[in-house]
Amino acid sequence: MAVCQRLVQAQHKFKTLSNANNGAELAQVIQLSSLYTDRVLEDIHKEYGSWDVLEMQPTRGVWDEIAVAHFQAAAAYRLRSFVDAYTCQLSSFNAFLRIFRNMTQWSLPVLYTLSRDLCDVAQRADNQLAASSSQGGKLEEATRAINQGFSLCMTDREPLLGKSRKWGTFRMANILFALYVRHKAYNLCDSMIRALKASELPPLEEFPMSDQVTFRYYRGMLAFRNEKYTAAKEDLLFALEHCFRDSYNNKTRILVCLTPIMMAEGRAPHSRLLRRYPPIKAMYGELAKAAKAGNLRRFDELLQEKEQLFVNTGTFIAVERVRKVAIRQLLRKIYVITGQNSRMSFQMLCDGFAAAGITDIDIPEMESVLADLVFCGYIKGYLSHDHGIAVLSKLQPFPPL
């Protein structure tokens, strides 16, 4: 069996970097798209005319196994044989996990790189399989493998905290969040948050800011989906304020969830924000204008027009809450037009709504709407069912939102 000396040199480099605990450089060279990987593959191809020799190389240890599988994956990737590339990358990843359990913090960059490459090639493999009408499932399999890496970080028992793999917990959690959200496995996201809360980890504030921002975005997004808007607002605001300044796409994703929360509090998005983020303007600009103006008819038209968009982005329920702001503003208009009388009959309010183009609301529904607005603090006062009137507070009947 011919031994490929260029590959032997690469195996030696991997082992040397590992023995020196040089995780940063090792993570660079072990990327599927690294310049080092390109050079090794180019040298092998020049010498042998193909990469078939990679299939015949003996291995004498775990790092040899990792290196051979890595270059096999990289070669298949360049040939656009993504299913084969995935199989080899998974072998490399699993072999690394066998020794990772005995490593310390220095090895975390290698785990991150292998995890990201595994996700990428798994998605490409699934796409390739789908194009040929074959069964996929590679990304789900990759998710289970990456979850093992996450567990090895979270449950590390290294007594010296500075050397602990626990410092990789939130980075790996964020990789898993992205995968779970892609699968719409939100129950697994919730389970992971509970596991993180119960584990003995350093405070989140001590982790790198990038890990904090990404984690709090996902936690806020999940709270948003669960209609826990106060908690969602806190996390999403933190993510927005600490996100890298030029991360346009990330900030747009944050604002998709955060904007309707703020609108429901009566805080319309600023014109400068809408100019900077056209997707947010397209989603919420006209709605915010209609709500602020109390143009309930226009608001309902926009809500119906954009319903599918809001359903697809998971924001429909949150946007529906903004309707209360539009109703409050319309009621305030009626209150001012009728002379700011603190005693307003339900029938008079129905007539006011009809004049504004809302003709399908009757007295029982109006009473229900008013009760909800009082309960939510949008208006101050009380209702008299027997007399059919709303008695508004003489001091700030429409408190600032």
Share of the chain above pLDDT 90, in %: 80
Q: What is the mean pLDDT of residues 149-163?
A: 94
Which of the residue ranges 43-52, 237-246, 319-328 would you say has the lowest mean pLDDT?
43-52
Farthest CA pair distance, the chain: 98
Per residue in 224-238, pLDDT tens?
999 999 999 999 999
Mean pLDDT of the chain: 93
How far is it, in rounded angstroms, from Cα 318 to Cα 333? 24
The four Cα atoms 372, 377, 379, 381 give a dihedral, to 10 degrees, of 80
Q: What is the mean pLDDT of residues 111-120?
A: 97
What band does 2 get if pLDDT is binned at 50, 70 and 90? low
What band does 3 get if pLDDT is binned at 50, 70 and 90? low
**pLDDT given for residue 55 in this prediction:** 82
Contacts of 46 (CB under 8 A, 6+ apart): none
Residue 211 has pLDDT above 90, yes or no: yes
**pLDDT given for residue 307 in this prediction:** 95
8 three-state secondary structure: helix
